[in-house]
Amino acid sequence: MNRWEKALEAAETHDCEAYIISNPVNIRYLSSYRGEASLLLLSSYGIELFTDFRCLEDAEREAIGECKVYEVPDNFTLLDYVLEHIKRRSIKKVAFESKYISYETYERIRSAFECYPIPNGIEKLRMIKDESEIDSIRKAGEIVSQGYRWIIENLRPGVSERFMEIQLEAFLKTVGAEDRAFPFIIAAGENAAKPHARPSNRLILKGDPVVFDFGVVYNGYHIDVTRTFFIGEVSSKVMEVYKRVRDAQERVLEEVKPGVKVKELCEKAISLLGEWAQFFKHSLGHGVGLEIHEAPRLSKSSEDFLEEGMVITIEPGVYLRGSFGIRIEDTVVVRSGGVEILTPLSKEGILCL
């Protein structure tokens, strides 16, 4: 059973005869179409993609073989045309993605059919990656590995966080990145204590720990990695925290396997951080794929279990406000025989001068 058939099967369990997909990421996942201005319809008639003349050629070229592509006439809105298309088939009950439509759109669907909201139907399918998806993320990992080597060669005292951001992004695109995966976090010294710091004009100085959180997109798939670099010798306190975060991250990675409860993995990380755990306030990680943040979310409140084929991050960190921060992150695949690390970069606290 292919992806769209699995998605339709989930809708059919609620007696729905059709399923309208409106999230562009989910449309790409099911049909391979990467563009905009589209809706996807799943039913016993198959998988059908609707778009306008601006995107028609791309849709016809990119969509999977069994996907029928329709051009929406200019006297119809996209939604109205799809609803008319469904009506012609005497379909009575329709599922829709409740997280991605406006109330107005909901009212228009509800006025035409009995309808059923599905908030995370496709996202649940996307949690488990097939080998083609993992291969794309692995190739993204090869690109960030080149970025890591570029950082080693170019990070030095006197350059700004902003300079490193601009130059790193440009380099990654020249070696094969489709795009950056998210706005990079490059944060030196006290700025590194901000988990979502924005690169600034602050100069990177001797004695600074510098957090680089960066990633790229390859073939639509994202990757995420964080390393903390040292500009020359750093304080004993920085080294103490660094070693604690590094060791905690490595030991948690050893526990990543199918059947492990996410909550227990988070508790393990907190325990390993010891007295520094009070300064670790974000989740342990997140799923990665067609979006940089996907299910599952690795938090203390999660009731999820790890499953074979999930691609997740493991990223403990310690943030001492006004002083410094340390984070180490890898993107990995959950495998029955042990974790596969897709970002196999050194974690030795590289000294740059």
pLDDT at residue 258 tops 70:
yes
Reference 45, options 78, 8, 11; nearest CA is 8
The DSSP bridge pattern shows strands 221-222 and 351-352 to be unpaired
Q: How many CB atoms lie within 10 A of CB 84?
A: 11
Record the pTM.
0.94
d(CA 318, CA 325): 6
State the chain's maximal CA–CA distance in angstroms.
73
pLDDT at residue 261 tops 90:
yes
Q: How many CB atoms lie within 10 A of CB 102?
A: 9
- Ranges of beta strands (E only) in 4-158 are 18-21, 38-43, 46-51, 68-71, 93-97, 114-118
Q: How many CB atoms lie within 10 A of CB 301?
A: 9
List pLDDT tens digits, range 5-56: 999 999 999 999 999 999 999 999 999 999 889 999 999 999 999 999 999 9
Name all domains of the chain by residue range, CATH numbers in brackets. Answer: 3-126 (3.40.350.10), 131-352 (3.90.230.10)
List pLDDT tens digits, range 276-332: 999 999 999 999 999 999 999 999 999 999 999 999 999 999 999 999 999 999 999
What is each CA distance from 113 to 76, 94, 201, in whole angstroms? Answer: 19, 7, 55
What amino acid is encoded at 207 in this protein?
A: G
- The strand pairing partners of 329, in sequence order, are 226
Q: What number is the average pLDDT over the span 91-120?
A: 93
Q: Which residues contact 190 (CB under 8 A, 6 or more apart)?
A: 322, 323, 324
